[in-house]
Amino acid sequence: MSRPVTLFTGQWTDLPLEKVCEKASSFGYDGLELACWGDHFEVNKADDAYCSAKRKLLEKHGLKLFSISNHLVGQAVADRIDERHKNILPDYVWGDGEQDGVRKRAAGEMIKTAEAAKRLGVNVVNGFTGSPVWHLAYSFPPNIPEMIENGFREFAELWKPVLDAYQELGIRFALEVHPTEIAFDIASARKALAALNDHPAFGFNYDPSHFGYQGVDYVGFIYAFSERIFHVHMKDVAWSDIPCEAGIFGGHTEFGTRGRYWDFRSPGRGNIDFEEIIRALNRIGYDGPLSIEWEDSGMDREFGAREACEFVRAIDFPPSDIAFDSAFEK
C-alpha cells in the first residue's frame, strides 16, 4: 500500500494556487487538498469550465486531487453566530449577520460544495460543523443534561438536510474532529453519529493533532470509527510534561507563544506517534491520501512543508500480507 501524500492548501491561501502548485510539486507532493477560500477553490464560481481549469492546473504540475475542504463555511452551519464569523465567511454567506440567515446560507453553500466536488471528480468534502453547545464544554454553571441533548438535536436538524444532499450526490462529508465542533473527542463523536442516526454520508477527517494534547486516545479513535475514516490529516502537536503558564485552554495566548502547554508542530517534531497511526490505518484498510496540514509557528513554512513530505513518505509503510512465522512451517 502506497498512499498518496498531499498538501492541504488552507495555510497557503495567501499565495495564488498556481504558485502553491509549483511549490508542492517541487517539495515532492503527489497532490493537493484544495481549500475553498482564497483563489484556490471558489464554490460560487465552480461550474464545469472552472472545475476543468482547476484540474488542468494541477495536472500541469503533476498533482492529483482527492478531496476539497470547506471548513470555514461549514463552521457556520450549526454555530452560535457572532462577529467572529464575518471574518471567515464570504460576504454572500455572511449577509446581514443574523444567525438564522447565516446558518441557512452556509448550509446552502455546503451543498453547493458537494455539487462542485462531484464536478471535480472527488467524493470527499472535509470541513467543520460548528456547534450549538461548545460554550457548554466546561460544565460550570453546571450543565443541565437537556441542554446538551437539545444541542445535539439542533446540530442534527441543521446538518441532516445537507447530508441528505451529499448522499444523493454520492459525496461524503468528513468532519475534522476538533475543539469548537460538535465532535471534539471520541465520546462526542459517538454522540454526533447517534444524533444523525449514523447517517451514511457523515464521517471523519482524522487529525491526531487535535486529540493528543487533550489526552484523547488518538490511535483508539481510528479503531472506534474504522468505517467512518474518510480522510486523514497528518499534523503533529507537542505538549509539555511540566506545568506551564498557559494550560490546555491556551490562556488566551497566540499559537507559538512561549509558556503554552501545547502547540502545533511540523510532522515528526511533536509528541504524536505516527508509526502507531500508520499501523492502525493499515489494520482498518485505509488507502486514501495522507494529507499534510502544515502548521508550526516556529519553523519556516517552505522548509517545514518539504521536510513533512519526506517524513510522511518515510513513515508510511504497507501492511504485511504474510504471517512472519509461516516460514517455519513444513
292: domain CATH number? 3.20.20.150
- Owning domain of residue 263: 5-321
Residue 208 burial class via C-beta count within 10 angstroms: exposed 0-12, middle 13-18, buried 19 and up: buried
Which pLDDT score is estimated for 328?
A: 55
Is the residue at 329 inside a domain? no
pLDDT digits (tens, 9 = 90+) for 112-154: 999 999 999 999 999 999 999 999 999 999 999 999 999 999 9
For 172, phi and psi rounded to 5 degrees?
-110, 140
pLDDT digits (tens, 9 = 90+) for 292-312: 999 999 999 999 999 999 999
Which pLDDT score is estimated for 321?
A: 76
- What percentage of the chain reaches a pLDDT higher than 70? 97
**Looking up cell 510539486, which residue turns up?**
25
Least-confidence region, from 132-146, 204-218, 314-328: 314-328
Is the residue at 327 inside a domain? no
Check: CB of residue 228 under 8 Å from CB of residue 186.
no
Which pLDDT score is estimated for 187?
A: 98
326 has a pLDDT exceeding 70: no
Is the residue at 330 inside a domain? no
Which pLDDT score is estimated for 325?
A: 54
pLDDT digits (tens, 9 = 90+) for 17-64: 999 999 999 999 999 999 999 999 999 999 999 999 999 999 999 999
Is the residue at 188 inside a domain? yes
Is the residue at 328 inside a domain? no
Which pLDDT score is estimated for 327?
A: 54
1 has a pLDDT exceeding 80: no
DSSP string, 105-163: HHHHHHHHHHHHHHHHT--EEEE----SSGGGSS--SPPPHHHHHHHHHHHHHHHHHHH
Going by pLDDT thresholds of 50, 70 and 90, the confidence category of residue 2 is confident
> Which long-range CB contacts under 8 A does 155-161 form with residues at least 24 apart?
155/78, 155/129, 155/131, 155/182, 155/192, 155/195, 156/195, 156/196, 158/77, 158/78, 158/103, 158/107, 159/77, 159/78, 159/107, 159/129, 159/196, 159/202, 160/196, 160/199, 161/107
- What percentage of the chain reaches a pLDDT higher than 90? 95
Is the residue at 182 inside a domain? yes
What is the number of structural domains in the chain?
1
Which pLDDT score is estimated for 77?
A: 98
212 has a pLDDT exceeding 80: yes
Q: How far apart are CA 131 and CA 81, in angstroms?
A: 10
Going by pLDDT thresholds of 50, 70 and 90, the confidence category of residue 318 is confident
Task: Give the chain's largest Cα–Cα span.
Answer: 76
* pLDDT, averaged across the chain: 96
Is the residue at 95 inside a domain? yes
Residue 121 burial class via C-beta count within 10 angstroms: exposed 0-12, middle 13-18, buried 19 and up: exposed
Is the residue at 263 inside a domain? yes
Mean pLDDT value across residues 266-275? 98
Which pLDDT score is estimated for 320?
A: 79
Q: How far apart are CA 279 and CA 171, in angstroms?
A: 27
Which pLDDT score is estimated for 217?
A: 98
Which pLDDT score is estimated for 330?
A: 58
Nearest to 124 by CA among 176, 52, 72: 176
Which pLDDT score is estimated for 323?
A: 63
Which pLDDT score is estimated for 319?
A: 86
